[in-house]
């Protein structure tokens, strides 16, 4: 019976993949509206024929991989549960030691290793396509190094979360979700605080901006926006990608303004200042704090739903899933599967909120710099460097885009210009 369920789920995943392929490659409409032909939002006006072809081709592949990757994780969690592999990992951990800390470390190691191996093919395919389309400049050795760092960073973070979570499940059988939520608040703030100075440097080298003349312009802009900033940081991303980016990260004394060196190499000073003004808009309007507040609220709702769904699943399908209680650590795949499904279901809402904040930041950049031409050119260059679609399919926009589409962003600048 369990083998039949596993087979049915695999078939369902394959059918879903076929449907998404048909939608993205044959049914979705990504053409520019007729009234926008020839405008600055029309990619034909700023991309050559080869860039247009590559943009359309790569976007379809990237979108397909996005829609395949999340259900692929669900497939892993389901198979490792129903085939009893999670239970085997738990038995190994118990036979090795009676100490709960060591048991959690051992179980998580085998679980994380199995997850890494299972998801590696899709990760590698995504990496290879980014190389083929000249988005990634990263060597396999460098990419693999990042994957291994990811493995250990996730392993350490997961250990802290899982050990505390399952200790709460054992102690507070019905209200564990509330206790877990209360503890998640300081943990979230702490992780946001240490991200720029502890985690990010594990992947890339950060250093003060070399172009001091440009730094002076950025700091003058920050002063105009009443942002206390003494340094702008540069990160060496050109060894990994041709894409462009800039961001503000961290909170309190660890907050940083960061520019990728690819952005510095490919954009003019005016374009960089517009992008910096956009990032300053996030800071001025305190989007990082609103984002944290939203995350904390959604975590409360999510943990409550997970507690109800897990209790129901164990009660009704416990034998099939090889579970007798939600507090046994082998139920972790069920916890992660439900969490991932809820996050995916909530993504239209969270993406909408993020797109609203990005729109606000764009407007702030216009008011701060009064340089619409630089903004339009920057968005066009971002499209070219990332081979992005200016008008993605509806499902892609809803489930994947946490920024407005480039067509929307450029049109907003054009309309502001007309005023």
Give the annotated binding-site residues: 278, 282, 358
- Asked whether the beta carbons of 373 and 416 are under 8 A apart, the reply is no
Q: Give Cα separations from 196 to 109, 192, 256 (angstroms).
A: 26, 8, 7
Choosing from 90, 215, 279, 408, the catalytic residue is 279
Residue 168 sits at φ, ψ, to 5 deg, of -70, -40
Task: State yes or no: is 414 an active-site residue.
Answer: no
Neighbour tally for 16: CB within 10 Å:
14
> Which H or E run contains 260?
strand 256-260
Task: State yes or no: is 223 an active-site residue.
Answer: no
Q: Checking phi first, is residue 350 left (phi over 0); if not, alpha (psi -120 to 50) or beta?
A: alpha
Neighbour tally for 324: CB within 10 Å:
13
Calpha distance 126→124 (Å, rounded): 5
Residue ranges of the annotated binding site for Zn(2+) are 278, 282, 358
Choosing from 73, 90, 362, 381, the catalytic residue is 362
Q: Give Cα separations from 117 to 81, 240, 276 (angstroms).
A: 16, 23, 39
Render 311-362 in DSSP notation, one character per residue. HHHHHHHTTTTT-S-TTSGGGHHHHHHHHHHHHHHHHHHHHHHHHHHHHHHH
Task: Identify the residue whose tokens are 């507690």.
Answer: 307
Q: What DSSP designation does 246 have? A: E
Burial class (CB in 10 A: 0-12, 13-18, 19+), 55: buried
Closest to 41 (Cα-Cα) out of 410, 413, 371: 410
Closest to 107 (Cα-Cα) out of 88, 79, 129: 88
Closest to 390 (Cα-Cα) out of 380, 400, 399, 402: 380
Question: Which of the residues are catalytic?
Answer: 279, 362
């Amino acid at each position: 019976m369990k083998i039949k369920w596993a087979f049915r789920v695999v078939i369902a995943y394959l059918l879903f993949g076929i449907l998404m392929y048909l939608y993205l490659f044959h049914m979705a409409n990504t053409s520019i509206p007729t009234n926008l032909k020839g405008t600055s939002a029309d990619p034909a006006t700023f991309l050559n024929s080869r860039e247009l072809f590559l943009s359309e081709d790569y976007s379809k592949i990237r979108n397909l991989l996005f829609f395949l990757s999340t259900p692929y994780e669900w497939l892993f969690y389901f198979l490792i549960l129903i085939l009893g592999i999670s239970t085997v990992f738990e038995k190994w951990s118990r036979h090795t030691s009676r100490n709960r800390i060591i048991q959690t470390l051992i179980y998580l190691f085998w679980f994380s290793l199995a997850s890494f191996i299972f998801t590696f093919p899709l990760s590698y395919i995504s990496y290879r396509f980014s190389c083929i389309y000249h988005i990634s400049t990263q060597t396999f050795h460098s990419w693999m190094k990042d994957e291994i760092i990811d493995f250990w960073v996730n392993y350490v973070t997961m250990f802290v979360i899982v050990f505390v979570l399952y200790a709460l499940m054992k102690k507070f059988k019905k209200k564990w979700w509330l206790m877990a939520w209360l503890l998640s608040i300081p943990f979230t703030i702490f992780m946001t605080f240490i991200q720029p100075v502890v985690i990010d440097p594990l992947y890339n080298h950060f250093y003060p901006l070399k172009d001091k003349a440009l730094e002076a312009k950025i700091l003058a802009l920050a002063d105009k926006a009443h942002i206390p900033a003494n340094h702008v940081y540069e990160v060496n991303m050109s060894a990994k990608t041709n894409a462009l980016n800039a961001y503000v990260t961290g909170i309190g004394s660890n907050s940083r303004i960061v520019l990728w060196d690819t952005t510095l190499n490919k954009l003019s000073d005016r374009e960089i200042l517009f992008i910096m003004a956009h990032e300053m808009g996030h800071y001025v309007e305190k989007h990082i704090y609103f984002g944290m507040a939203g995350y904390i609220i959604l975590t409360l709702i999510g943990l409550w739903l997970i507690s109800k769904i897990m209790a129901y699943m164990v009660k009704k399908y416990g034998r099939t899933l090889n579970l007798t209680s939600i507090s046994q650590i082998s139920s972790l795949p069920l916890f992660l599967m439900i969490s991932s499904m809820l996050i995916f279901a909530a993504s239209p809402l969270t993406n909408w909120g993020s797109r609203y904040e990005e729109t606000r930041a764009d407007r702030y950049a216009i008011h701060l710099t009064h340089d619409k031409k630089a903004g339009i050119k920057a968005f066009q260059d971002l499209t070219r460097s990332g081979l992005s679609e200016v008008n993605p399919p509806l499902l892609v926009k809803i489930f994947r885009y946490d920024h407005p589409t480039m067509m929307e962003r450029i049109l907003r600048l054009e309309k502001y210009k007309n005023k």
